[in-house]
Structure 1
Amino acid sequence: MQKITVLCVGKLKEAFYEQAVKEYEKRLSRCCKLELLELPEQRLGDEPSEAEIRQALKKEAALVEQKLSKGGALIAMCIEGQEMSSVALSQKMQQLAARGASQLTFLIGSSFGLDGDLKKKADLRLSMSPMTFPHHLARVMLLEQIYRAYQIEAGTKYHK
């Protein structure tokens, strides 16, 4: 059974997001070994400078690096990443597994994004849309798409 880690910078605060995450955790438990990891987001003032943002992203990246598994595939969620259909994501996950990536780590950055060096290390940079979403909603959307990818692979009626 494939291991999926969703590594998030920032904590869920709203109960409705937590409920949605729990629902997809339950669904995914039948498809994969799911691990959700939350790392603290660096606190910045209301109008941080570019230098302060870069420094915060570097600190967050250092924490992320400590949690990355060796030998797995890293998928960085970022707005400039590649957009894919649900079917294409399912196929990509299957391809990565066929190449020996028994673990996939999906990385969601903080509200300021991800450090550039982390993005360079990613096996895939993935974008859900050119639109901007709250990071907490992006987590729910990502979990739903991972679940959908497994349902596509299994040939169920979930994906119409």
Structure 2
Amino acid sequence: MNIKIIGVGKIKEKFYRAAIAEYAKRLGRYCKFEVVEVPDEKAPENLSPAQMAAVMEKEGARILAKIKEKEYVYALAIKGKERTSEDFAAELNQLATYGNSDITFVIGGSLGLSPAVLQRANQQISFGRFTLPHQLMRVVLSEQVYRAFTIINGLPYHK
């Protein structure tokens, strides 16, 4: 199975990079795991709705350029469906069983994901209604993917 996380912007904080690297190392026994960063669009604080849409469209085009046609795509979105860790693990396992072995997760920038990216996604997933920094969300997502594989493989980590 191939798992890819596409995120907008670079992770500058060393502790976030270290956490993601740790989960990437752990995931190495279960899948090919990759994090792809696309440049964020500079956006001042007080943008008009049209300027916000333009920023999301530019970031969305960069994201879509990194997604292949065969990939099964989860868009992380507050309005997405929430799951338990066990449900998430079962879903990933079922996707792999039925031939979806290339799974991509997309984390937007500070303004969220463009309509084009949401439309390309096979599903929207939510980790709750909190707003989290996208750098931290990459860590949380990496951990949940690792947790899913430990559940699938009957390991005690997930308890």
Deviations 1:18-59 (A, max 9, x none): 111111111111110011100011001121111111001111
SS at match of 2:158: coil
Gaps in structure 1 of 5+ consecutive residues: none
Say what the alpha-carbon RMSD is for the aligned residues: 0.8
Superposition misfits of 4+ residues, deviation over 3 angstroms: none
- For 1:137, give the aligned amino acid: L
For residues 10 and 80 of structure 1, what CA distance do their matches in structure 2 show?
Answer: 22
- Across the two proteins, how many residue pairs are aligned to each other? 159
Letter in 1 for 2:154: G
The aligned counterpart of 1:59 is 58
Quick check: 63-72 or 134-143, which moved more?
Answer: 63-72
CA distance in structure 2 between the partners assigned to 1:134 and 1:45 by the alignment:
17
Residue 144 of structure 2 is matched in structure 1 by 145
1:95-110 aligned at under 5 Å gives the runs: 95-110=94-109
Q: Which residue of 2 aligns with 1:126?
A: 125
Q: Which amino acid aligns with 1:53?
A: M
The superposition leaves residues 68-122 of structure 1 with CA deviations (integer Å, 9 ceiling, x where unpaired) of 0221200000111000000011011112112211100000010110001211221
Letter in 2 for 1:93: L
Q: Secondary structure at the match of 1:8?
A: strand
3-state SS in 1 of match to 2:112 = coil
Counterpart mapping for 1:5-154 below 5 A: 5-154=4-153
State the AA in 2 paired with 1:110: G
- TM-fit CA distance, 1:6: 0.5
Aligned sequence identity (%): 39
d(CA) in 1 for partners of 2:115, 2:98: 26
What displacement does 1:145 show?
Answer: 0.1
2:28 and 2:68 mapped to 1: Cα distance?
20
Q: Distance in 2 between the 1:33 and 1:94 partners? A: 15
2: CA distance between counterparts of 1:131 and 1:81?
Answer: 12
Matched to 2:109, the amino acid is S
